[in-house]
């Protein structure tokens, strides 16, 4: 996965813990991949395609929630 990729958010335990289950099924564009070995939670900053969620288009999503 790299910057500019179009991906879909899927359910995961981490997403549920973050209370972001409503993002499941949304199509997004990857802005930044944060997957260095020393990161506790690996993930991506993404921009939602279409309508914002809670008035925001940019969100951090765990790698386990991205297809």
pLDDT in tens, 10-65: 999 999 999 999 999 999 999 999 988 888 889 999 999 999 999 999 999 999 99
* Domain membership flag for residue 1: no
Domain residues for the domain of 30 are: 6-65
Looking at the structure of the chain, the number of domains it has is 1
Higher per-residue pLDDT: 1 or 24: 24
Q: Which two tokens stand for residue 51?
A: 């309508």
Q: What is the pLDDT of residue 2?
A: 92
In 13-51, which positions are buried (b, 16+ CB within 10 angstroms) versus exposed (e)? Answer: ebbeebebeebeebebbbeebeeeeeeeeebbebebeee
Q: How far apart are CA 4 and CA 55, in angstroms?
A: 22
The pTM assigned to this predicted structure is 0.89
* Domain membership flag for residue 18: yes
Q: What is the pLDDT of residue 14?
A: 95
């Amino acid at each position: 996965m790299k910057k500019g990729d179009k991906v879909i958010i899927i359910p995961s335990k981490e997403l549920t813990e973050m209370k972001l289950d409503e993002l499941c099924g949304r199509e997004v564009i990857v802005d930044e991949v944060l997957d260095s070995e020393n990161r506790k939670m690996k993930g991506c900053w993404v921009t939602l395609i279409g309508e914002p969620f809670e008035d925001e288009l940019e969100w951090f999503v765990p790698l386990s929630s991205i297809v």
